[in-house]
Structure 1
Amino acid sequence: MTKKRILITGAAGFLGSHLCDKFIKEGMHVIGMDNLITGDLKNIQHLFKLENFEFYHCDVSKFIHVPGKLDYILNFASPASPIDYLKIPIQTLKVGSLGTHNCLGLALAKKARILVASTSEVYGDPLVHPQNEEYWGNVNPVGPRGVYDEAKRFQEAITTAYHTFHGLETRIVRIFNTYGPRMRLNDGRALPAFIGQALRGEDLTVFGDGSQTRSFCYVDDLVEGIYRLLLSDYAMPVNIGNPDQITLKEFAEEIIRLTGTKQKIVYKPLPQDDPKQRQPDITKAKEILGWKPKVSRAEGLKITYEYFRSLPKEDLFKLPKEFESKR
């Protein structure tokens, strides 16, 4: 039987690399694609020896060509952390718009089913809690986070338009905070920032008073949810995340206990438009996909901490890489 062929854009990123692993494990031929502006080939180097994996160094915002048939496309090409999209705002908007348009056009030409990676950031600083898929969000389009939030909102809109106008098979996943091995220590998000500070012997920085909440989902759980959504018959957005929320102050205290460090928590002003609450309503995922997270935060954090602790010492002190292109 001919293997199913799947294109995964953003393949060298944190989530993309785990998705490559998953679909190879499920017996598919995986074509990875990444321009490596935030991704890292180290995340997928273990796959290069496999005959069921191939890689294209390509910017999906410009052009996509993949020879042969495609059964599925996973579009995960986008910066995903504030430290990235604040440095490359134009590229963030282009990959969410032009890049998504190119992926949808390829899916249409190949008659492939496409799943696009949206985000809980489409809800902005939410006025509804927990956030369900029917909530339209509270987003500042001209604030610093607008380049990411609106790129993702446009991505959902054009994906839905291709579904309704062209009859394209589309899936939309709204991803909440996810963590696990292969995260970048310097990507600016709370979990790697806290662990990195602890490992360097620095005080842990909490923005605001620490009362804002986050809900952290272990990467294996997220990947399973995405896999089930891709193979489902549901075309509207679905939240995938862990509803077990925690305040950032409590989370910093958890990291201090986990790492056994003696640092204290220091407080800095809250960035503009930083969401005060983030918790997914996963009723749809449970009912439609039969999915719910299985890995507890304690278990997932232990695995993630061991991963970060195993990194070369120089990685702990590596500053975020600068991006050459400002286009």
Structure 2
Amino acid sequence: MVSTVCTKDLLDRFHLQLVAGEEGVHREIITSDISRPGLEMTGFFDYYPRERLQLIGKTELAYFLGLNAAERKQRAENLCTDVTPGIIISRGMDVPEEFFEASKHSGVPIIQSPRTTTRVLSRLTNYLESKFAPFTAVHGVLIDIYGVGVLIIGQSGVGKSETALELVKRGHRLVADDNVEIRQEDYESLIGNAPALIEHLLEIRGLGIINVMTLFGASSIRSQKRISMVIQLEIWDEKKQYDRLGLDEDTMKIMDVHLPKATIPVRPGRNLAVIIEVAAMNFRLKRMGVNTAEEFSDRLTKMIEQGDLESQ
């Protein structure tokens, strides 16, 4: 599932000025790629990506203005096709008359931006990449703990929302409860957010739905957060052997990204909020190069070796 983006969305979001082709502002943009028609200005249209946004900068426009009148007319007509979602001219440069005429026949929106070509390209590309990113949804809770995006999963009724409430009380920030929408923005980055319907809301059994922002303030919520690790809550199983050192590193795959995952058994008397809080801090330490479990294992190995030497 991906979002639908049309040219009008860009006009509204980036405060671009529409100068011609108002009837085409509802054309759908189907790719995040943006084209700078350099070769096309020379007349080479064999591989013209006409379905992309076209960005004309200072270099392209200078070359265009150096052509004769017939060539300018022909280039503008070829650039403005029935599927081109828009032609953007950067740096606030004046739009040549040939583009106004071509827009009248094709309906292509002609847009001006006061910003530099590089800035327009980067901002639009980042926005479109975000909109067209692969998308999925996961049943769980997403919390920002000390800057670490922690996705808490587990079977229904295990205590995910109650744990999230305790974490919010401890000063951490809620991103989403119950349903986490996740999009993959690049090869190793997953961004999670809440569906608009349940944004800022938390469901506590026996209490009902509460508004976290209303109760705890704006500092208690985030609209989105990069997911760094997964915590799975499960009912304590006496027959199961749980990791006691932290040497075993489990992972969970969401779309194309493998995330570190820890399984925390749930039983009365365990303070899950504190355990998850410490798990997030320990994750940060590992990213800084400090692995307590490995250090303990190395220390133990050295003591065993020293004991063997002394016995000899």
Instruction: Report the TM range for the smaller structure's normalisation.
Output: under 0.3
Q: TM-score, normalised by structure 1?
A: 0.21
Higher strand share: 2
TM-score (norm 2): 0.22
Query: Looking at CA atoms only, which structure, 1 or 2, has the larger radius of gyration?
Result: 2
